[in-house]
Amino acid sequence: MSPIRSSLLDKVPWLQHGFGTRYNGAWTAPDRTARLHQVHAATIVTVTVPGHHGDGDALLATSPELWLEIRTADCVPVLIADSRQKRVAAVHAGWRGTAARITAATVAEMVRTHGSRPEDLLAAVGPCIATCCFEVGEEVASHFPAHTVRSGERPHVDLAAANVEQLKKSGVPLEQIDSLCRCTMCEVDVFHSFRRDKALGRMVSAIAIGPA
């Protein structure tokens, strides 16, 4: 199975991207990939070369042919491209990172550091644990009052929608946001899910600027 693609990001001719499944492993070229030790926070790292770049949960780049890689197994992967200036970002947004507004912070960093305009950004929110399966305690739910569903004994949170909202409030037009709406916990035969399997399998999602 090939990595899953966003039809929205596919419209950008110079862009390479994909959301991995349990069958893809590390599908990017190791000598052209930048990665982080993901810590479920809101640290953003700008990179120019491949390799491991320490702790963080979002990567930014302007260099061509440099893959930005994040790994998830229920958390939200968000891939962002500046269609005007050829800038890219990859975000790992667990519930803690989402509560810390890492996706909004990444957009703000693209604007502040790289001169991006929110109206030029395209974003895809990849497969993650969906509302149907993300049952949480009140402490977690308290961070997401607008995205909590209370239809059973315990609240359920929609992390994907929370990250879409951050993109919208950052100025990214709704029509330039693609939420793939696939649940990692439900789709047993396609995705790893830490909550379901209690295992260490991870999916690789990545984005890159194509050859100059």
Pair 179, 164: CB distance under 8 Å = yes
The angle subtended at Cα 96 by Cα 3 and Cα 148, nearest 5°, is 90
Predicted structure pTM score: 0.97
pLDDT beneath 50, residues of the chain: none
Residue 212 is predicted with a pLDDT of 58
Single out the residue of 42, 59, 11, 60 nearest to residue 178, CA to CA: 11
162 is written with which tokens?
């929370």
Single out the residue of 92, 74, 23 nearest to residue 199, CA to CA: 74
CA distance 124 to 12: 12
Residue 80 is predicted with a pLDDT of 98
DSSP string, 150-188: -SSSS-EE-HHHHHHHHHHHTT--GGGEEE---BTTT-T
56 is written with which tokens?
């963080």
Residue 36 is predicted with a pLDDT of 97
197 is written with which tokens?
């399997």
List of domains in the chain = 9-128+159-182+203-209 (3.60.140.10)
Helices (H), 67-175: 95-99, 102-114, 138-141, 159-169
The angle subtended at Cα 65 by Cα 58 and Cα 53, nearest 5°, is 35
88 is written with which tokens?
């890219």
The angle subtended at Cα 146 by Cα 8 and Cα 75, nearest 5°, is 55
Residue 204 is predicted with a pLDDT of 97
pLDDT in tens, 130-152: 999 999 999 999 999 999 999 87
How far is the first Cα of the chain from the last one, in angstroms, to the nearest whole number? Answer: 28
